[in-house]
């Protein structure tokens, strides 16, 4: 009888363990162990001065040069992998691909220098405190970004004039992300002008980029003469009036980031409004359709990863458990076989089913370097014990 009893207890115990969901700590360890292997494999496939971008339609690896707007995310992901595992070989790779971006500060750039430098040099400085190697590039890049600021319009310009578009001073919602470079440089060097450029851009965007429900237009074009709004439209969403998922993710992340860096209640309130709209409209599993107003079933893992990182950061600022719960839901889904690569798959990328520019049929249902970056960032930020 005693033996039967012990077997019954063991059976119940094993069933309970099997039925228990994976802890977020174990999930994070699983993903980062995979990431270390995948990103080492990915690095081995790269020629000198090339950066991973996505996969081509034929399944081969798509790479970019230094100038592509996402060139900094590979180094940034390597820094996150190093932050978790503290591997010297990963650190060496992160440093190599970071320093390869240094020539950017001497080239013509657009607003994306914030993405390129903050993800790479910003994380490098944060994790190593090596000011000699990294600080000067951060400040030089921030100054170049601030030079794109127009005090009449109160925003930094996204793209330079393009002949095929009737834009005078285009500003996209993505530009909110690049303000972190300005805020970081302002803190490092005590530069109030850089901070004020970032704050002014955030306030102007809050005024002009959002609809009454806190969904956002992708692009707002300003007059260079008087700063008035010339038009509001999309460049990558389904329609001018639709809710493009990654644009909404940029908005959530951007205002949460500004609230944290600046301590400003206006930015925090804006972030909460955007977050609450997303909580209403996200699908049950937390992974958005590439555009909330587009018929079809195409999801965008990159937008989910950005949102998860922002929701986690917003929970830290507000202690609103709804934001933590959504971040956890998104991270669990992204870490499932439906979205996470198998070891050796996707040429070394982590996440499947991302959408780059659907209207141009560019990078649709593929891995993307920035999706991996924000996925790893979100996992590092997530704290299941936070209340």
Q: Which residues are catalytic?
A: 112, 174
| DSSP-derived secondary structure for 120-169 | IIIHHHHHH--HHHHHHHHHHHHHHHHTTEETTTTEE--S---TTS--SE
Is there a contact between 317 and 270 (Cβ–Cβ < 8 Å)?
Answer: no
Tell me if 298 sits within 8 A of 346, measured CB to CB.
no
DSSP string, 320-339: -HHHHHHHHHHHHHHTSTTT
Q: How far apart are CA 341 and CA 353, in angstroms?
A: 10
User: Residue 192: CB partners within 8 Å, gap ≥ 6?
Assistant: 186
User: Do 329 and 274 meet the contact criterion of CB atoms below 8 Å apart?
Assistant: no
- How far apart are alpha carbons 113 and 97 in whole angstroms? 15
**Number of other residues whose CB lies within 10 A of the CB of residue 345:** 15
């Amino acid at each position: 009888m005693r033996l039967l009893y012990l077997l019954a207890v063991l059976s119940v115990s094993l069933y309970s363990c099997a039925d228990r969901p994976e802890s977020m700590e174990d999930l994070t360890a699983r993903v980062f162990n995979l990431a270390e292997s995948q990103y080492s494999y990915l690095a081995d496939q790269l020629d000198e001065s090339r950066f991973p971008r996505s996969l081509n339609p034929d399944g081969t690896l798509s790479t970019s040069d230094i100038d592509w707007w996402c060139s900094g995310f590979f180094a940034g992901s390597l820094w996150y992998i190093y932050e978790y595992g503290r591997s010297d070989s990963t650190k060496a790779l992160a440093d190599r691909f970071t320093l390869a971006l240094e020539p950017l500060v001497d080239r013509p750039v657009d607003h994306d220098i914030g993405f390129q430098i903050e993800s790479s040099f910003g994380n490098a400085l944060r994790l190593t405190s090596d000011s000699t190697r990294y600080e000067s590039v951060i400040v030089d890049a921030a100054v170049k970004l601030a030079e794109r600021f127009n005090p009449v319009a109160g925003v930094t310009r996204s793209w330079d004039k393009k002949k095929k578009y009737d834009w005078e001073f285009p500003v996209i919602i993505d530009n909110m992300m690049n303000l972190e470079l300005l805020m970081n440089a302002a803190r490092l060097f005590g530069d109030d002008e850089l901070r004020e450029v970032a704050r002014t851009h955030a306030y102007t965007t809050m005024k002009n980029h959002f609809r009454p429900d806190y969904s956002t237009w992708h692009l707002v074009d300003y007059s260079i003469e008087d700063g008035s709004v010339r038009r509001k439209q999309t460049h990558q969403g389904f329609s001018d009036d639709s809710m493009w998922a990654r644009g909404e993710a940029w908005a959530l992340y951007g205002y949460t980031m500004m609230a944290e860096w600046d301590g400003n209640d206006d930015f925090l309130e804006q972030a909460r409004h955007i977050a609450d709209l997303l909580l209403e409209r996200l699908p049950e599993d937390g992974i958005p359709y590439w555009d909330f107003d587009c018929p079809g079933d195409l999801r965008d893992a990159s937008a989910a990863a950005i949102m998860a990182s922002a929701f986690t950061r917003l929970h830290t600022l507000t202690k609103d458990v709804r934001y933590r719960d959504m971040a956890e839901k998104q991270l669990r889904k992204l870490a499932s076989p439906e979205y996470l690569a198998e070891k050796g798959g996707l040429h070394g990328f982590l996440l499947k089913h991302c959408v780059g520019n659907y209207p141009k049929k560019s990078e649709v249902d593929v891995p993307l370097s920035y999706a991996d970056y924000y996925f790893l960032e979100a996992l590092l930020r997530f704290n299941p014990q936070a209340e």
